[in-house]
Structure 1
Amino acid sequence: MELKHKRVLVTGGSSGIGFAIAEAMAASGARIVIVGRGETRLSEAAAKLSAGGNKVDFVAGDVTVDIDRRCILSEAVARLGGLDILVNNAGAVRAGRLELISEADIRAMIEVDLVAPILFVREALPHLRKSGESLVVNIASAAALTGVPFYGTYAAAKAGLSRFGEALRRELKGEGVHVMTVYPVATDTPMMASSKAGADLGFGREPAEAVGKAVVEGIEANAIEVIRGGEARAKAIVLNRENPLALDERFMSMKAALEEATRDHRAF
């Protein structure tokens, strides 16, 4: 798919991966509306994204609230004159031992990371169908491919988003709506700021700009998935499939350190 003149809605677009995706798409000639809860941050992000001459607009709202989601979509479609690409990027995470995570945080992760994207796609489909050549981009996580200790609910929600995307792609095949799923590794974003896990624990952080560029490359290649992390991540995925107990042992060797490093990791 060529991105020039495409009309794009990016959730969670005021910072991190969402901002980087919007920036890379705008550089390719797409017209963008970014979405988030904080109007001031959105305004500032839109101004930065527009500095290169590309007009980037914003709509404030909470993707987990039904009326907000409908208003976001309606306003974005009105401003763009339609919709060609929906990027479900807004995310939430709370790491730690399951019994120490509140029910409210568990439900919030599932709402933001899984329920909201599903409902957003459902509500956006009539607009995407009108495009004739449209795309849904779901930002999952490497944790959807290999479960990581202390990220159980987050991994579950992102794995659910992954399988949702796969099923939806097959459901919509031949109908003018493509679906691509992205699996970032740990990325240098505000969402990771409260995590102390580093490269020694397998959480070496990739620049958000690299993810944004990879997403654009995936779109242009009509890819069905974009998996970050290079050869090391590819080997871990294969090991998890062929010898999961070996990966269990690897995590066991670092479990205490990983628990300590991630116990304060929270971003909503």
Structure 2
Amino acid sequence: MNLQRKQVLITGGSSGIGYAIAEAVLAKGARVIITGRRPDVLREAAGKLRQIEHVETVAADVSTTEGRKATLASALQGGLDVLVNNAGGVRAGWLEDTSEAEIRAMIEVDLVAPVLLTRTALPLLRASGEGLVVNITSGIALVAAPFYATYAGVKAGLAKFGESLRRELIGDGVHVMTVYPGATDTPMMRSSRAGPELGFVREPASAVANAVIEGIEQDTFEVIRGGEARAKMIALNRDDPAAVDKRFLDLKLALAEAVRDHSAL
């Protein structure tokens, strides 16, 4: 896809990977709408992005019916070519220490919201003639880490949703691409103390965004971050999952402490 003059809607676009994607698609000549729950952060992000090009904003919570309606209102006026389902939330820790409210929040924002938003947006994407859905999942959807049971589950669910939908939409003029970021230097990761010694090597959000743009331009099915190390871990998890279990057993206590306060909901 050539992004020039395409209308792109990015949920969770006021910070982190979403903001970096907005910067990158604007640089390619796209028109952009970003959404976010916090109006002040959204205004600040839009102010910076407007130094590149005009940006529309929608202050909305996509985990709610009202928020999803508001999110798509601007697209209903100007059309929609690309939907980037990026908004997300996480709460790490032992499952039995995770509240029902936190579990439900992850399910709603990380899985239910993109499924329902995509469903509503499909007529607009079909009308584009060259529509695209980009689902931002997580490397944890490929190799699940302890203390992220719910998060891994919903992100894996989003990945399989995208795979199924891609096959459902073959021939309909709408493509689906799935993105698997690794640990990324974003506000969502600030409360995590897991570092390289535990396998969490953070890369800039701009690196993820650049890979997303490359994937869009090449019409790829998926973008997996983490390089050769991630590829080896994925292969090991497929061929010898007990070996991956052993690796995590050796890190378990240190990892539990490092992610105990990791929360962004």
TM interval, short-chain normalised: over 0.9
Superposed displacement of residue 239, structure 1: 0.3
Pairwise CA RMSD of aligned residues?
0.6
Alignment partner of 1:214 is 2:211: yes
Alignment identity in percent? 65
Of 97, 100, 104, the match for 2:97: 100
* Partner-residue secondary structure (3-state), 1:181: strand
Of 241, 257, 261, the match for 1:264: 261
Task: Give deviations 1:199-221, integer Å, cap 9, x for gaps.
Answer: 11011101000001000000000
* Partner-residue secondary structure (3-state), 2:44: helix
* Partner-residue secondary structure (3-state), 1:258: helix
| In 2, Cα distance between equivalents of 1:208 and 1:33 | 19
* Partner-residue secondary structure (3-state), 1:226: strand
Superposed displacement of residue 245, structure 1: 0.2
| In 2, Cα distance between equivalents of 1:209 and 1:203 | 17
Correspondences of 1:4-15 after superposition (within 5 Å): 4-15=4-15
Superposed displacement of residue 267, structure 1: 0.2
TM-score, normalised with respect to structure 1: 0.98
Determine the structure 2 residue equivalent to 1:238.
Answer: 235
Superposed displacement of residue 40, structure 1: 1.5
Q: Is the 8 A contact 1:59 1:76 kept in 2?
A: no
Q: Is the 8 A contact 1:22 1:32 kept in 2?
A: yes
Q: Aligned partner of 2:182: which letter?
A: V
TM-score, normalised with respect to structure 2: 0.99
Determine the structure 2 residue equivalent to 1:61.
Answer: 60
Alignment partner of 1:168 is 2:165: yes
Equivalent pairs, count:
265
Q: Aligned partner of 2:37: which letter?
A: R
| In 2, Cα distance between equivalents of 1:238 and 1:85 | 31
Task: Give deviations 1:160-180, integer Å, cap 9, x for gaps.
Answer: 000000000000011000000
Of 185, 189, 200, the match for 1:188: 185
Give unmatched runs, 5+ long, in structure 2: none
Give 4+ residue runs of structure 1 displaced > 6 Å after superposition. none
Task: Give deviations 1:122-147, integer Å, cap 9, x for gaps.
Answer: 00001111100010000000000001
Q: Aligned partner of 2:177: which letter?
A: M
* Partner-residue secondary structure (3-state), 1:197: coil
Q: Aligned partner of 1:225: which letter?
A: E
Give unmatched runs, 5+ long, in structure 1: none
Of 116, 120, 126, the match for 1:119: 116
Task: Give deviations 1:18-50, integer Å, cap 9, x for gaps.
Answer: 000111011011100000111111111011111
Superposed displacement of residue 76, structure 1: 3.5
